[in-house]
Structure 1
Amino acid sequence: MITRSGHLRLSLALLTALALTGTALATAAPTPSPPTALAVEDDGADCPVALPGSTPANPRLPDPFTRIDGSRVTSLADWRCRRAEIRELAERHVYGDKPAKPASVTGTVSRTSISVTATHQGRTASFSAGVDAPSGAGPFPAVIVVGGFGADTAAIKAAGAAVISYDPLAVGREGTPRSSKQGAFYTLHGASSPTGLLAAWAWGASRIIDVIEQSGSATIRADGIGVTGCSRYGKSAFAVGAFDQRVALTMPIESGSAGAPAFRSIAGESGAQPLSSAYGEQPWLGDAFSAYTGNPNALPIDTHQVIGMIAPRGLLLLENPHVDWLAARAGSVASLAGAEVYKALGAADNISYWSDVQDGTHCASRSEWRGPIQDNIREHLLKSGNAPQVFRISAKKAGNLAQWRDWQTPVLTGGGEPTSTTTTTTTTTTGVTTTTTPPPGTGCTASASVNQWNGGFVATVTVTANRAITGWTVGATLPPGATITNSWNTTRTGTSGPVTFTDAGFNGALAAGRSTEFGYQATGTAPTSALTCTAR
């Protein structure tokens, strides 16, 4: 039995508020999301978690909504301790333990620097970070830029946030053997600690936030902290946001293997950095991950659940489809699956993904990303905007979520769920869900979940059999200007206007009550008219 003690219970009220405001009728204007950062590093620290000794191998992404004991999450209140389970699984199997705040953390904050001194069991370690604040008196929200590589710092400052330059190598050095790790974290917790660098770097970022909190937010606002990084520092930014719920906005860029891309999907993606390479290149991942480098299906967790740890807080995932090594297809798989957690929590507009870029240079400052970065800073750090959810997935690296999951996203109770009717069209602040109940004799039902952005959308369509069927056809009518560019798990007729989708053979036969999924990507605006479904 594992517990983490001493933290406030704040998330239930927060999630309930999100659910109450996250869904609106199609004719309503988008409602700005409420603040999503919490006042504590780990809100589920007091949840008892009993991890299993082993779990059966699973070639698909594990269900984020099924608890360790096999029961399923049904309410918003359930998610708090389900997240605690996911955290423990991530620490045990992927990252290694990220310890809680040491007994003593002291330091200073100014317009130019932050100093940190931490003491644990008689050992003391110190490190510092630079600060580049915008003009004006402050206090300012701030984005921690890990390793100096991340979102364009000029764009961050132009949006009104300070830049905190965090050198993670002072906390956990690269180029060291796993048996003799070095840096401030390992000075406190031992050179042979099984904790990998990503968790150590996340621990260091949390201690920076501790000092900001203790400073009284005179210069930097503790309730307006973001984090970003690119490449290996994108891996770090992903871990920082997942393991500290005080981070309001997480922006990992081109994080590759050991970052946001799904471990299971990486294994089959041509040219992607193999898990064994990511594990061996540097001690980024925890020592325990060695057991899974050649068998990710044995992992009881995957990165879509780590995305779920960030939910419902702001998350902007930015990827590069031009460099195969970066595993952008696996990144889109994890992001689409993680977005299902955001949807269940009523906060689907708080996650965005963008891999549709022209410049293939690794870690370039791209003009396409400047707007989304600044929009997210204004919404999640300045609390002054309403960033539109964006899912722009490059056709070069478009993942197929239907291939990777055999679970459905629940409607969690606790406020705000839509009411079922014979034919329902509901538009959230982030997408469209259309459900059609077929006339008698048609034999199937089709429903579409849509991630819409400015200029395009991705639709995931679920086909459910009302009786035993041997095949199905779904009809849809795209609005003027919408054109399909890609589809999967289906045979398609047409690219615009009236289009039909027929099963791909392997997914045509369904028993009564069973479902399958297919998907498509298109330019323009998603259809809101009812789908039709006929069965053979």
Structure 2
Amino acid sequence: MNNRRIRSTLVALAAAVTAGAAVVVVPALTVPAQAAVGVEDEGAGCTVSALPDAGSLPTNAKLPDPFKKIDGTRISNVADWTCRREEIKKQAEKYVYGEKPPKPTSVTGTVSATNITVNVSHQGKSSSFSASVSLPSGTGPFPAVVVLGGFGADTNTIKAAGAAVINYDPYAVGKEGTARTNKQGAFYSIYGATSPTGLLMAWSWGVSRIIDVIEQAGGSILRADATGVTGCSRFGKGAFVIGAFDQRIALTMPIESGSAGVPIFRGIPGEGAQSLSSAYGEQPWLGDAFSSFVSAPTKLPIDTHEIVGMFAPRGLFIMDNPHIVNLGPKSGSVAALGGAEVYKALGAGSNITYWSDITDGNHCANRAEWTTPLQQNIKKYLLKTGNDPGTIRISSKAQGSLPTWIDWTTPALGAGPTTQPTTTPPTSDPTTSPTTSPPPSSGGCSASVSLNSWTGGFVGTVRVTAGSSAVNGWSVALTLPSGATITNAWNANRSGNSGAIQFTNVSYNAQIPAAGYTEFGFQATGTSTPITPTCTAT
């Protein structure tokens, strides 16, 4: 939506949640599933069949089955989702957004308390951009939320919750107001002004390069394992795509994204939202290939409910406005409901929130109704100190009906692996290596470690899980690989920086309910190898 009157000042509203909304509270899992943040694309090694050209695609008025593979068979295990997700990713790139290139040959930069610089070189071409940083009070390292263009979730609430704000200028990476044959910005300086990749995917590429730099930095300021992203309106479209295409992003919060954002493409024409041709023509947000579908969305082999599914099981908090039809809120609710079926199938139904039950109809206003779920999501996915379940709260003014759009059912996925990547992901990307200990069958606690590694360093995320009884204090012992040294840690006290180390709880995460968990982390220099932790309830 072309809205150039976005408020420059966000005003907190003391409004109560309205009555008469359709409210569905997604039940919390005993131990909510969460992705091991650390790899941009976990399915990079999957083999994906060649995709047909747009002209040979069949028409399908219903939303495509997110569980059906390109070969026509349905996935049957949770392990199948990695490569099924990669199929959806490739379809989204080919038909909707344009390709997101993998990590360039060289990405360097700096992280300070006020700024991040990014320098990219690839195949003889180079570009640079930067983003400002605003830290919360307290002692770092901090998780961070990337805010697009200065408009997204309330930055005061973000910082009060304990997360830093990275102010990202998308136009430095992909400029609006240009012809499709003369795209400009840091992305197009590398990949060419006539690249068929649209601005939304270019913006996604830019945030991924920011995360690369954070990973490479010493980690004393910003944490490498706890990044969120948010934006409103056109920047809500951007946040949606950014989070979908980088699995290192733990929490994504698009707001009022409108056509080319969250709303299903198939629903937009019937709802009276900004038309697909208008969204395609207003700015080169979408990839050039989408021109084949502006008048024929039913020929798309995917839809945005599957883009929502790409986030699973990571945190997703979609905020929408039921008062502006042009934003397509009814179609947005259908996308969320459809994507929530993927979350449920993966055992992560409590990790998605959709909230359009609001009183203020102004575009991109800050709303009191969103303050509490915003705080809860930041604590759960970035600080890793909370465990509140997600909520599907749809306003009765714009309530979509998922059953009218689908002819498929959600499978009960087994746990056994049946499909694995056939090749090793590119070595230039970080790798994740989990070491898992099963939860204790009775009292006590267990611990597991996920490792996010790159040349010369790694981040360890440690999950402490209680058994059948609550834990009132805990201690985790582990031995670092030879030569590894911890440079910083969060959410725990530690006895040293190398060799055998004892981590103990801090005051706010000492108590863990029965079968619940908390997490802490550390960043280290050196080469990672599998780590086997032991946990003791104190």
TM-score of the aligned structures, taking structure 2 as reference length? 0.71
In structure 1, what is the equivalent of residue 279 of structure 2? 278
Instruction: Specify the code of the residue in structure 1 equivalent to 2:154.
Output: D
Cα deviation 1:116-160 (Å, max 9, x = unaligned): 000011111000001001122200001000111000000100111
Q: Find the aligned partners of 1:135 and 1:367 in 2 and give their Cα distance.
A: 23
Q: SS at the partner of 1:163?
A: strand
Instruction: Specify the code of the residue in structure 2 equivalent to 1:107.
Output: G
Q: Which ranges in structure 2 are unaligned for 5 or more consecutive residues?
A: 1-26, 417-538
In structure 2, what is the equivalent of residue 338 of structure 1? 339
Moved more, 198-207 or 217-226: 217-226
Q: SS at the partner of 2:165?
A: strand
Q: Find the aligned partners of 1:83 and 1:259 in 2 and give their Cα distance.
A: 19
In structure 2, what is the equivalent of residue 134 of structure 1? 136
Q: Find the aligned partners of 1:52 and 1:40 in 2 and give their Cα distance.
A: 25
Please tell me whether the aligned partners of residues 127 and 184 of structure 1 are also in contact (alpha carbons under 8 angstroms).
Answer: yes
Please tell me whether the aligned partners of residues 178 and 283 of structure 1 are also in contact (alpha carbons under 8 angstroms).
Answer: yes
In structure 2, what is the equivalent of residue 150 of structure 1? 152
Instruction: Specify the code of the residue in structure 2 equivalent to 1:170.
Output: A
Change (3 A) 1:100 1:29: closer
In structure 2, what is the equivalent of residue 448 of structure 1? none
Q: Find the aligned partners of 2:375 and 2:73 in 1 and give their Cα distance.
A: 40
Give aligned-pair identity as a percent: 64
Q: Find the aligned partners of 1:262 and 1:347 in 2 and give their Cα distance.
A: 22
Please tell me whether the aligned partners of residues 114 and 128 of structure 1 are also in contact (alpha carbons under 8 angstroms).
Answer: yes
Instruction: Specify the code of the residue in structure 2 equivalent to 1:97.
Output: E
In structure 2, what is the equivalent of residue 47 of structure 1? 46
TM-superposed deviation, 1:32: 4.9
Cα deviation 1:429-451 (Å, max 9, x = unaligned): xxxxxxxxxxxxxxxxxxxxxxx
Q: Find the aligned partners of 1:30 and 1:95 in 2 and give their Cα distance.
A: 34
Moved more, 188-197 or 381-390: 381-390
Q: SS at the partner of 2:181?
A: helix
TM-superposed deviation, 1:73: 0.5
TM-superposed deviation, 1:36: 2.3
Please tell me whether the aligned partners of residues 37 and 247 of structure 1 are also in contact (alpha carbons under 8 angstroms).
Answer: no
Large movers: runs of 4+ above 2 Å: 28-38
Structure-to-structure mapping, 1:6-17, within 5 angstroms: none
In structure 1, what is the equivalent of residue 424 of structure 2? none
Q: Find the aligned partners of 1:134 and 1:157 in 2 and give their Cα distance.
A: 5
In structure 2, what is the equivalent of residue 249 of structure 1? 251
Q: Find the aligned partners of 1:184 and 1:404 in 2 and give their Cα distance.
A: 39
Please tell me whether the aligned partners of residues 35 and 383 of structure 1 are also in contact (alpha carbons under 8 angstroms).
Answer: no
In structure 2, what is the equivalent of residue 362 of structure 1? 363
Size of the alignment, in residue pairs? 387
Q: SS at the partner of 1:301?
A: coil
Q: Find the aligned partners of 1:170 and 1:380 in 2 and give their Cα distance.
A: 28
Q: Find the aligned partners of 1:201 and 1:30 in 2 and give their Cα distance.
A: 34
In structure 2, what is the equivalent of residue 457 of structure 1? none
Q: Find the aligned partners of 1:124 and 1:389 in 2 and give their Cα distance.
A: 42
TM-superposed deviation, 1:35: 4.1
Instruction: Specify the code of the residue in structure 2 equivalent to 1:256.
Output: G
Q: SS at the partner of 2:219?
A: coil
Q: Find the aligned partners of 1:96 and 1:348 in 2 and give their Cα distance.
A: 30
In structure 2, what is the equivalent of residue 116 of structure 1? 118
TM-superposed deviation, 1:208: 0.3
In the alignment, does 2:88 pair up with 1:86? yes
Please tell me whether the aligned partners of residues 83 and 309 of structure 1 are also in contact (alpha carbons under 8 angstroms).
Answer: yes
TM-superposed deviation, 1:30: 5.5
Please tell me whether the aligned partners of residues 51 and 89 of structure 1 are also in contact (alpha carbons under 8 angstroms).
Answer: no
Q: Find the aligned partners of 1:298 and 1:176 in 2 and give their Cα distance.
A: 28
In structure 1, what is the equivalent of residue 174 of structure 2? 172
Moved more, 284-293 or 218-227: 218-227
Q: SS at the partner of 2:332?
A: helix
Structure-to-structure mapping, 1:90-105, within 5 angstroms: 90-105=92-107
In structure 2, what is the equivalent of residue 375 of structure 1? 376
Q: Find the aligned partners of 2:35 and 2:367 in 1 and give their Cα distance.
A: 27
Q: Which ranges in structure 1 are unaligned for 5 or more consecutive residues?
A: 1-27, 416-536
Instruction: Specify the code of the residue in structure 2 equivalent to 1:404.
Output: W
- Give 1:199's match in structure 2, choosing from 187, 198, 201: 201
In structure 1, what is the equivalent of residue 423 of structure 2? none
TM-superposed deviation, 1:29: 8.3
TM-superposed deviation, 1:267: 1.5
Instruction: Specify the code of the residue in structure 1 equivalent to 2:47.
Output: P
Please tell me whether the aligned partners of residues 229 and 251 of structure 1 are also in contact (alpha carbons under 8 angstroms).
Answer: yes
TM-superposed deviation, 1:239: 0.4
TM-superposed deviation, 1:31: 3.3
Moved more, 99-108 or 34-43: 34-43
In structure 2, what is the equivalent of residue 479 of structure 1? none
Q: SS at the partner of 1:267?
A: helix
Please tell me whether the aligned partners of residues 32 and 385 of structure 1 are also in contact (alpha carbons under 8 angstroms).
Answer: no
Q: Find the aligned partners of 1:249 and 1:58 in 2 and give their Cα distance.
A: 32
Q: Find the aligned partners of 1:77 and 1:34 in 2 and give their Cα distance.
A: 13
Question: Which is bigger in relative contact order (C-alpha 8 A, separation at least 6)?
Answer: 2
Instruction: Specify the code of the residue in structure 2 equivalent to 1:399.
Output: G
Structure-to-structure mapping, 1:178-327, within 5 angstroms: 178-270=180-272, 272-327=273-328
Please tell me whether the aligned partners of residues 28 and 390 of structure 2 are also in contact (alpha carbons under 8 angstroms).
Answer: no
Cα deviation 1:41-73 (Å, max 9, x = unaligned): 001001011133133110010000000000101
Instruction: Specify the code of the residue in structure 2 equivalent to 1:259.
Output: G
Q: SS at the partner of 1:356?
A: coil
Q: Find the aligned partners of 1:325 and 1:264 in 2 and give their Cα distance.
A: 15
TM-superposed deviation, 1:222: 1.2
Please tell me whether the aligned partners of residues 28 and 389 of structure 2 are also in contact (alpha carbons under 8 angstroms).
Answer: no
